[in-house]
Every structure is written in structure tokens, then in C-alpha cells.
A and B are shown apart, each in its own frame.
Chain A
Amino acid sequence: MNRDPIITIENVYKSFGHVEAVVDVSLDVYPGEVVVIIGPSGGGKSTLLRCINKLETVDAGRIVVDGHSITETKNINRVRAEIGMVFQLFNLFPHLTALENITLAQKVVRKRGEKQAKEIAHEQLVKVGIGDKWDAYPSQLSGGQQQRVAIARALAMEPKIMLFDEPTSALDPEMIKGVLDVMLDLAQEGMTMVVVSHEMGFVRAAADRVALLDHGSLVEVTTPEDLFENPEEERTKEFLSQILH
């Protein structure tokens, strides 16, 4: 990978009161790459991810996404439209159907017409495997289906980057595979993805690199092979021994 990174994170620092959530983290993500962030809870994984689309503002450091400085830009909304985000608790709009969830931002932000937005929404729903659920309200869908609608909603904006914040941790075990399959397909299509997750199956199958974050600091950035076969840092070994039973 000799191209320029699509996400550059430079010496980012973020604290909540006295709690240091992210401490001097630097990380580059290249186009088409899948980077999975792992680490103990409270380690700053989600905070770092949320800094990338400015759901959290950084205290110090710089983040550049696709040539736009997130930390300095005047028009964050235009940059956010290029960054899809999937949340742990789905955050679907409960007053809208699955289809309307997907068409809303297309119409409001991308200024697409009703017809085009609907076509794209239907396409995306088929792609995530729930094409028949377009007129269901979120409350009528299972957790796994809701998360797939949420992914479709983000993809309909045709983002250059997808961020996943623990997309499967609120799901029942039997629902996880469906969501991970959608994510695997996406990775294979060459989507740039930054994923906070503890799904080691996904790490093995899709991750190009894995970053371990602990107490806000980047402990190690490595390939999945090295992570499982010969982790360098003591902290990494310790963490892996806790999650791989």
C-alpha cells in the first residue's frame, strides 16, 4: 500500500474531565483497508472512532479524512456524509419505516429525488439481505435486522469510509452472523472500514490490521496473523488470553 492514507490520525488526545480517553494516538488508514480496533472496555476505542467523524471533538491533535481536516473544517456535515457510521444500538429512527430510514438522509443531505432515493434504498436492503422488510418499522424488526437496516442506511449515502462501533455487541448470538456476513461482503468489495469489535472471527477473515487500544494508548498495531501467532507486547498477550477462551 503505497497510496496516501484516506484517514490520518495524528497525536490525538481526548479526555472527559479527569479521565483520559485517548492519549497521543496516531494511526493511518489506507483506502480499501479494514482496520479493527480491539481492547478492553473503557480503553478509548469508541471515543477514537467517534473522533473520526467529530461526534467527539478532540482536545489536541489532528484528524484528516479524505483530504478534509476534521479538526478544522467549517463544514463538518459535508465530510460526515462521506463517512458512514454504524452504532452499537443501531439508532434507527423509530418513527420511520426501514425504507424511510434509508431515504431520509439521501433526500435531505444528498438532495436526491424521492424515486431515486427509494430505488437506492431498496437496492441496499436487498444487499443486506432484508429486501422484503422495507415497510417494517424498527420495532417490528429483530436486532440483527435493525442493524442491517442501519448499515444499509449508511451505505445509501455512498460513503468512502464506514465506521462500525461495536456493531454486534448488542445482538443475540444467533443474529451476529448475519450482520458479520454483510460486513465481510463490504470488506471484500474494497470498502475502507474502521471497526471497533471483539469478533475475532471477523478479525481473522477480514482485517488487514488490528490496533490494540488500552487506557487510551495504542499498544500495538499489527496484522491478524501476527496478533494471534506472535503478539509482541505483553499487554496484547494478556488481552488475547482473556478474550480467546
Chain B
Amino acid sequence: MSAEAREATRGRILPFTVPWESVPWWAIILAIVGIFVGWSVLTSEAYLDALAFIIDGVSLTLQVTIISYLIALVAGLIFGLMRVSDNPIFYAASTLYVEVMRGVPLLVVILYMGFVVTPRVREATGGQIDLQGVPAAIMGIALSYGAYMAEVYRGGIESIEHGQMEAARSLGMNYMQAMRYVILPQAVRRILPPLGNNLISMLKDSSLISVIALNDLLQTGRLYVSRTYRAFEGYNTVALLYLTMTLILSFAVRIVERKAAIE
């Protein structure tokens, strides 16, 4: 509403109007469909059976996602800092890592971790270190995503005006102090949206670990289908569970973003 319009309507009782253009239609549709689907699931014997079996896979999916994400956040930060470093060795090493990991499909990385790295590590350490299973899966996802995250951090750091670094350095801070107290706090705020999106992507991509026979959500669903031959109910349940988790995350990411924007 323009200032004139506000002035003109001051003191008058406005008719109740709905700002139709600002209604989140997608969320309303989703909610209606969600209620409908939820009702059909909870009243259907077949879906309740599928849900009871498949929901066991959620915990591994969440566990792998969260741990991989935390590792990728740290790896991304370290390699991102190396990418903007003046040190040629740091720069070369991080660029190599980023280019290689971004160039290999995540599925291939996970298979490689599971069937190439794990046996080699076990052999080399005489069985002391065994990455079999979940550790291999987590390492694969974290390493792959670390490369994407490194580029996100780099972009964030490079988006901060050069004057900020100069001001910090002119006050006597060393490079790392300036990074820690001046550049990164600003950069991280700017990259919250891509960081949040990466978490959501990661949750979905964690389904790839089913190829190394881990009982995550997808693998549990496949197990259910192969036992009961109820592909329809089985995969619907799998999809619904993923969707529920990603929607919750996407709302959480929005809230965090909004909070950061206000500050």
C-alpha cells in the first residue's frame, strides 16, 4: 500500500480483505493432500503393515545424514579456507579434492568406499580399522558433499567486500583472526540457504547407501516389497517418509534463514 493510500484510509474501518497473492497455496494444497494421505494410510491395513516395517529404516537414514552433514560442514570449511588461501600447496590440494569429488557420481564414491577402500584399509591395518558398513557410507557421503560445501564456503568468503579483511588486518589481527571474527561470521550468514539445501539433498542422497546393503529407509522398503510383493504400498510409504522428513527440514531451514536475516 502506498503512503497516500495509507493516508486516505487512516481512521476508517477497512473492509476485511484477504491478500490472495501472499497465500502460500502450495502449503495449503500440501496440507490437504497430506491429511488425505495420512488418513488413508492410518485407516488401511496394508499401509499400516508397510509403515510398521519400513519405519525402522528411518533411524539409519537420519543417523547417516546427520553425521555425514556435520563432517561435510567441517571438511567444507577447511577445504573452502584452503581454496581462498594464498598458499599454493593448500590451494592446489583443495582444488584437486574439489574437482575430483565433484567429478565422480556419489553412487560411485559410495561403492568405491564400500568395496575398494574398506577392504584395503582392513588389509593394511591387519583388521584394526574396519570401515565396513555405516562408516564407509558416511565417509563416502561426507567426502563428496565436503567438496560441494567447500565451494559454497569459498563463494561466501569471496562475497565479503575486501575492505572487511583490510579493516581487520589494519587493526593488527592476523589472517586467521580476521577470518574467524570478521569474514566467516558474515560469510556463513550469507551461505545459510545453500548450506540448508545441502542438508535436504543429503537426506535424499543418503538413499544411495542402500547399494552397499545398509538397512536405511530405501533398503528397508525394498526388503518389504521383496517379501510381500506390495510394491505400491511399499514405495509409497518410502516416498512419504522421505517427503515428511524433507518438508520438516525445509521448514526448519526457512526459520533459520529468517532469523539470520533479521539479525
Contact = CB atoms under 8 A, between A and B. Distances in A.
Contacts of B177: 108-109
Given A91-B167, A93-B182, 15 more contacts: A55-B169, A77-B169, A77-B173, A77-B174, A78-B172, A80-B170, A80-B172, A87-B167, A93-B164, A93-B168, A93-B186, A94-B186, A150-B167, A153-B171, A157-B171
A171 interface: no
A87 B186 CA distance: 20
Contacts of B186: 93-95
Contact of B185 (A53, A78, A95): A95
Contacts of B164: 91, 93
Closest 4 CB pairs of A and B: A81-B172, A105-B171, A91-B167, A85-B170
Given A95-B186, A104-B181, A109 B170 contact: no
A92 to B, nearest CB: 8
Contacts of B170: 53, 55, 80, 83-85, 154
A108 B180 CA distance: 11
Contact of A91 (B163, B173, B181, B185): B163
B102 interface: no
Contacts of B182: 93, 104
A180 interface: no
A89 interface: yes
Contacts of A110: 172
B163 A154 contact: no
Interface in B202-246: none
Interface string A146-180: 00001001100100000000000000000000000
Interface of A: 53, 55, 77-78, 80-85, 87, 89, 91-95, 104-105, 108-110, 150, 153-154, 157
Contact of B172 (A91, A94, A105): A105
B161 to A, nearest CB: 8
Interface band, chain B: 10 to 19
25 contacts: A55-B169, A77-B169, A82-B172, A83-B170, A84-B170, A85-B167, A85-B170, A91-B161, A91-B163, A91-B164, A92-B167, A93-B164, A93-B167, A93-B186, A104-B182, A105-B168, A105-B171, A108-B177, A109-B172, A110-B172, A153-B171, A154-B170, A154-B171, A157-B171, A157-B172
Interface string B4-18: 000000000000000
Nearest to B180: A108
A242 B165 CA distance: 35
B173 A95 contact: no
B166 interface: yes
Contacts of A153: 171
Contacts of A87: 163, 166-167
A157 B186 CA distance: 23
Contacts of A55: 166, 169-170
Contact of B166 (A84, A91, A94, A154): A91
* Residue from B167, B168, B169, B171 whose CB has the most chain A CB atoms within 10 Å: B171
Contacts of A91: 161, 163-164, 166-167
Given A94-B186, A95-B185, A95-B186, A105 B163 contact: no
A167 to B, nearest CB: 13
Contacts of A94: 186
Contacts of B172: 77-78, 80-82, 105, 109-110, 157
Contacts of A93: 164, 167-168, 182, 186
